[in-house]
Amino acid sequence: MSRFALVCLGTLGWLSLAALAGRAGSTEQREYSVLINGKDAGHSKMVIVQEDDGRTYMKGSVTVKLTQVLLPYSFQMDLQEWWQAGRLVQLVAAAVENGKKTEITARTEADRLLVTTNGQVKPASTDVWVNSFWRLADRRFHNNSVPVLEADTGKEFPGRLDFVGTEKVTVAGRPEECFRFRVTGIPSPTDLWYDQYHRLVRQEFTDSGQRTIVHLVSRKN
């Protein structure tokens, strides 16, 4: 795998839930399994804090390890995202892929978003959707173009998000009606399933011939 397309995310060293609850309208924890070519390859977790004033904060990490005879692969990433009124206002990410480190930050400044990748600064669209995909993009992007920011590289791609339909997905042993979308225009076209709260339940994509499935296994409020 040349790059593990970031999927869903988990705790960046678990935060104190008491501290989160002290400033939050609601707090949720989600855990996911990561399968590559049908084999257990890692896990991810996330903590989502929804503020009463509409701000949303997500802190998480994903860890993947793929053992192959010729090309063993490892990827680990920690990520934090801050959202306000449907727009990304700040991002902090640190990724290590096969020993190579990448540090990325993004922040809004006036009417633009500045993305810094290993010290190199460049502007990005203020409407970017982060490829953690943990939250469904706003309705105005459904069946429309949407700029996608790769949190593990700092690159922006001219994506497109299309609604596929509603499907039953088994979540923690129980069937649940979910919304299925597909995002294209990015290095690895991806299928995404979201629950009634527009938060990620399942993700499927193929990268460098490796079929990857990320699936929600636990959620707690």
At the topology level, CATH places domain 17-220 in YmcC-like fold (2.40.360)
Q: Which residues, in sequence order, are CB contacts of 35 under 8 Å at separation 6+?
A: 41, 212, 213, 214, 215
Q: What is the pLDDT of residues 159-188, one digit of tens each?
A: 999 999 999 999 878 999 999 999 999 999
The pLDDT score that the predictor gives to residue 69 is: 56
Burial class (CB in 10 A: 0-12, 13-18, 19+), 174: exposed
- Supply the pTM of this predicted model: 0.87
CA nearest neighbour of 161 among 126, 195, 178, 137: 137
Joined together, the tokens standing for residue 105 give 């930050």
The pLDDT score that the predictor gives to residue 209 is: 86
Per the prediction, the chain carries an average pLDDT of 88
Give the domain ranges of the chain: 17-220
Tell me which residues of the chain have a pLDDT lower than 70: 1-24, 69
The pLDDT score that the predictor gives to residue 63 is: 95
Residue 78: count of CB within 10 angstroms of its CB:
19
